[in-house]
Chain A
Amino acid sequence: MFLVPLCILYGTLAYTAERAHIPLPKPDELKYRPIHFAPPAAERVLLNNGIILYIFEDNELPLLNISAVVRTGSNYDPIEKEGLAELTGTVMRTGGTDALTGDAVDEALDFLAGSLHISMNRDSGLINLSILKKDLDEGLNIFSQIITRPAFEESKLKLAKNLLIEELRRIADDPKKLAFREFKRVLYQNNPAGRFPSATSVTSISRDDLIEFHRRFFYPENLMISITGHISKEEAVAKIKQYLGSWNESRKYNVVPPIPVKQKGHIYFLSKNTPQSIIICANFAPGKKEPDAYPFEVLDFIVGSGGFKSRIFQEIRNNLGLAYSTGSFYTKRSEYGVFGAYAMTKSESTAKVLLLLRSIVEDAKTKSVDKKELAWATKSINNNFIFSFQSADQIARQQLMIEYDKLPPDYLATYRDKIADVQPEELKRVAMKYLSPDETVTFILGNESAYSQVITTFGNVCRIEDQL
């Protein structure tokens, strides 16, 4: 114990001595050479069969990244066949093609150390191939067969269904996964985005369903490809033409699923025996296409997504030590967005934290943001912009997604100016417009003691059961 004060003293003296001859500049007064950054442009090429290519060459590594984005997704799952999009993606990858068995595809890719993943999101599908330059032809051969001529082997479908059912069984073991799934179910009521696979829906899916789903969505005009890495534009076009150029199918345009509608505000409670509650308060917010998206992005940054300095983090984590994970999110799709304030806190402080989240959101409507806080948010967002263009793949994919989302072509070029133009009164305006408590869907996962607190404090609470 005697050593303790000595160590501290030693450290302090050393510190003073070394600082004596280095006056530290104030961090805010450091001068930087300017960086003029314009988003680098990928090359866009339209093939005769309707496939759109985005190409970006980067020769540093002997590697190629090829991604196909398809206008499909789990929002297109038929009612009572939830899980169909996901299974179609999985079994396209595992179930072979008209020329190769599923096992042969796995063997070839693993031996070349190539990775080929298919993921299905709500409103898109993504097929990604990462392959060494020297194996490009073998990689593209498999990639194109999987996209155009999958075989959907019965045994691989059975495996995929069983694994998906097991995954569903295990969701309840992970409170965060369970909470976000059930939160979306109450937020997107009567909308495809609120429907999830269940053991029953998965069991009812047949190989014919997969074949039909693939037929509906996989055709050249419904697909965009980014190809990046150690390849020139000419070679990229030639290779894609070689493997996908003769694919000439056309389909009737698929009707886009309806966008979700606002709900009446309510508190939903899902009981789980866990020592920490998960709280999410959500409202619908502007989509990417709307001008309000810019002030709303700044608002979200200030309220809870701007790291340590954001209001929720400072109050709930720093000042009160009531949570490790807390803040807000603003997820934007082209037509609509969702804003949520969230926290994970010990059961005992569930009601207290919900009150705090509500009052921080309310403040955004009534109090003006001071100029300094606004400048912090807009500077932060704009200075971080270049990190969306760090790799060749990111650069090409950014541009591809702008076209996919049908955003204006100058979306990226004008983005920073629009953020910089956001005015303090606009923040109040968008907070008032989008964050009405009458439309706030509050979701809580917690134990029975958390429930008693919530019902005592807030009265009207709707208990829900998970649907797994």
Chain B
Amino acid sequence: MRIFAFVLLIISMPSLGFSYELGNRVLSYTLKNGLKILMVERHLSPTVSFYIRHRVGAVDEIDGRTGTAHLLEHMLFKGTRTIGTKNYHEEQKILKLIAETGKELDIEKMKGKNTNKSRVQALSERMEVLQKKHKKWFVKNEIDRLYVENGGDNVNASTGQDLTTYHVSLPSNKIELWARIEADRMTGPVFREFYSERNVVMEERKQRIESEPEGQLYEQFLAAAYIAHPYRRPVLGWPSDMRFLSLEYTEVFFKRYHAPNNTVIAVVGDIDPANTLTIIKKYFGAIPSRHLDPSLITEEPPQNGDRRVDIVSDANPQMVIGYHKPAMPDFDDYVFDVIECILSKGRTSRFYRVLVEEKALAESVHAVNGLPGAKYNNLFAIFAKPRHPHTNAEIESAIYDEIEKLKIKPATTRELEKVKNQIKADFIRSLNSNSGLANLLSYFEAVTGSYKYITDHIKVIERVTSEDIMRVTKKYLTPDNRTVAKLVYKN
């Protein structure tokens, strides 16, 4: 999620060389079934990077089923009807029994105090026998094996609030392998090992959130900043939901959102675009498009007052401050991209100069525009760690001093020029790898509806003035629109 936010701020169209003509080098096609394909040809290395983005994420889950989008992403590594099976016809029979037993087991366990322990015991034993039988019919991790054995680099996937992403890089002669695997998992995945994978994501939660004070702080911060919109929920899910995530609902969720007309593909590297398109059409072209029912997303009502939340911890103090603001492509979102850089990009940024150097209060202070997602109205957030013996309270008030300065004193021309230079140069750097470019193109196409958001971004950034910064700061960075979360010492 943080990566997406980072992506958001480094985008711009610089005025030199390759980047200037980027818009012309992107080939964009839409297949008849609605699948969007973006391609860029470049030949420095005989490799190619693929990004597949489905417009579905944690926001699309219903309450009580949080974590489904993420668990589904894990399930899509379990193979298909033709990959990972020794005989799908036979395997299917056992999978059906496993699903039935798993469901009964969950129903029994969900009874809490009234759980019939001997029934749980009997069902668990039955499950174990079935899982053993199932092993005879399938081959584990075949998708990963096929990619890795063929040189696959960075074979992975991620789930965010807005999008689910599958990416890999391959030697450039293996494009057909990618198409063969991905088209198959878009249509015929088989959810093997569902129940043990549920335990794996519980371990993932333990690792990322329960063992990490920063993870706990961020989770509680979002839960306080949003009271209605689904951005209030963690992508990994709440533990009590995760324990009983349902196989049936996961299948429904898959069918509803993993449609070609809800998907963007980016292919960047050593390719012949015409051949690549032929291969893509051959494998993806026949996947039927599907009627998409938009998810019902509750709008966040306006915040009318400071919200504060403490998280008791044995860790050193740190805090997050967040303000509600509009999502891209609202003009004010661009202004926040500039504000973010003025406040915290580099050693000459205001937070670093004042809070870290002059006042010596902070270990670090970072501003981030666009959390926890980018598709819906989101937050401008500030993460800060005080330096011992200074406190969260001291650093908080110093941060507000800097915000107040933005409201009353216009940024200098040089400061604005510096920030615009930084946004341009960071964009050029982000083009330096095939996977970086595929990542950007597919992300903005999927979130904003067109990769051209990237090529037009700097034109808009160039228009941002010091008056805009004052106006936006006054409008959004107010106490009534603010949520503050702090880690406080256990006494």
- Report which A residues bind B (CB closer than 8 A): 3-4, 7-8, 10-11, 14-15, 17-19, 21-22, 24-28, 30, 32-35, 37, 58, 60-63, 94, 106-107, 109-114, 130, 132-134, 159, 162-163, 166-167, 169-170, 172-175, 230, 273-276, 306-309, 313-314, 317-325, 344-346, 376, 379-380, 382-387, 389-392
Is B432's CB within 8 Å of the partner chain A? yes
- Given A18-B187, A380-B151, check contact A173 B174 (CB 8 Å): no
26 A-B interface contacts by CB (under 8 A): A4-B249, A4-B252, A30-B180, A35-B173, A37-B171, A110-B349, A110-B422, A162-B387, A166-B363, A172-B315, A175-B212, A274-B210, A276-B203, A306-B148, A308-B77, A309-B148, A314-B140, A318-B196, A321-B196, A324-B201, A325-B207, A344-B203, A376-B149, A384-B151, A390-B44, A390-B45
Check: B309 CB closer than 8 A to any chain A CB: no
Return A136 CB to nearest CB of chain B, in Å. 13
Bound together, the chains give a CA A174 to CA B487 distance in angstroms of 14
Docked CA distance A8–B191 (Å)? 13
Beta-carbon contact of A7 and B252 below 8 Å: yes
Residue in B19, B45, B204, B315 whose CB lies within 8 Å of A324: B204
Residues of A within 8 A of B282 (CB): 22
- Bound-state CA distance A457–B193 (Å) is 30
What's the Cα separation between A17 and B206 when bound, in Å? Answer: 43
Report if B296 contacts A (CB, 8 A).
Answer: no
B248 near A386: Cβ-Cβ < 8 Å: no
The answer for the CA separation of A94 and B348 in the assembled complex, in Å, is 11
| Contacts of B146-161 to chain A: CB distance below 8 A | 146, 148-153, 155
Contact B346 A275 (CB under 8 A): no
The answer to whether A324 and B363 touch across the interface, beta carbons within 8 angstroms, is no
Chain B: minimal CB distance from A53 (Å): 21
Q: Let me know if B30 is at the binding interface, CB within 8 A.
A: no
A110 touching B429 in the complex, CB below 8 Å, given contacts A7-B252, A34-B173:
no
Q: CB < 8 Å: which of A24, A107, A376 contacts B180?
A: A24
Residue of B nearest to A385 (CB): B151
B314 within 8 Å of A by Cβ?
yes
Known A27-B83, A324-B204; contact A15-B256, beta-carbon cutoff 8 A:
no
Interface residues in B, total, Cβ within 8 A: 95
Does chain A have a CB within 8 A of B305? Answer: no
Q: Which residue of A lies closest to B141 (CB)?
A: A308
Interface residues of B: mostly helix, strand, loop or mixed? helix
Near A by CB (< 8 A), chain B positions 284-334 give 286-288, 290, 314-316
Measured in the bound complex, the distance between the Cα atoms of B16 and A319 in whole Å is 52
Residue of B nearest to A159 (CB): B357
Q: Which of B44, B206, B426 contacts A346 (CB 8 A)?
A: B206
Contacts of B363 in A (CB 8 A): 163, 166-167, 170
Beyond A110-B349, A321-B200, 7 additional contacts (C-beta under 8 Å) are: A109-B346, A159-B357, A173-B315, A318-B141, A318-B196, A344-B206, A392-B44
* Residue in B210, B249, B425 whose beta carbon sits within 8 Å of that of A132 in the complex: B425
Q: A376 to B173, Cβ gap below 8 A?
A: no
B397 within 8 A of A: no
Which residue of chain B lies nearest to A306 when distances are taken between CB atoms in the complex? B148
Question: What distance in Å separates the Cβ of B107 from its nearest Cβ neighbour in chain A?
Answer: 14
Complex formed: what's the CA distance from A34 to B206 in Å? Answer: 45
Which residue of chain A has its CB nearest to the CB of B248?
Answer: A4
Partner of A390 from B181, B184, B196, B433 at Cβ < 8 Å: B433
